[in-house]
Amino acid sequence: MARAPLRILLLPVSLTVAIFAGACSGGLSSDKAGESFALADSGPGFTPFAQVPSSQLTERVVIANPSLAEVMQPGPLGERSLGREDAPVTVIKYASMTCPYCKRFMAEVFPSFKKEYVDTGKVRFILREFPIGHQSGQATVALRCAAPDKYFTLYEKLMAQQASWVSQEVRLEPIYAVAKQVGMSRADFDACMANQSMIQGLKWVKDRGRTLGVIGTPNFFIDGKLVKKVLTLPELRQMLDDALARKVAGGGAIPVTAR
Q: Residue 250: pLDDT band by 50, 70, 90 thresholds? A: confident
Q: What is the pLDDT of residue 254?
A: 63
- Residue 118 CA, distance from chain mean position: 18
Of the pLDDT bands very low, low, confident and very high (cuts 50, 70, 90), residue 249 is confident
pLDDT digits (tens, 9 = 90+) for 17-36: 322 222 333 456 666 544 32
pLDDT of residue 200: 96
Whether 99 has a pLDDT exceeding 70, the answer reads yes
State the pLDDT at residue 252. 65
The mean pLDDT of the chain is: 82
Q: Which residues contact 259 (CB under 8 A, 6 or more apart)?
A: 116
Longest dimension (CA), the chain: 56
Residue 61, pLDDT score: 87
* Terminal alpha carbon distance of the chain: 37
Quick one: three-class SS letters along 85-124? CCCCEEEEEEECCCCHHHHHHHHHCHHHHHHHHHCCCCEE
pLDDT grade, residue 54 (50/70/90)?
very low
Residue scoring higher pLDDT (59 or 3):
59
Q: What is the pTM of this model?
A: 0.79
Domains of the chain: 7-249 (3.40.30.10)
**Spatial CA neighbour of 24 closest among 35, 36, 13, 14:** 35
Using the CB atoms, write b or e for 219-239: b if 16+ within 10 Å: bbbbbbebbbbbbeeeebbeb
Confidence band for 230, pLDDT divided at 50, 70 and 90: very high
Contacts of 226 (CB under 8 A, 6+ apart): 66, 212, 213, 214, 219, 220
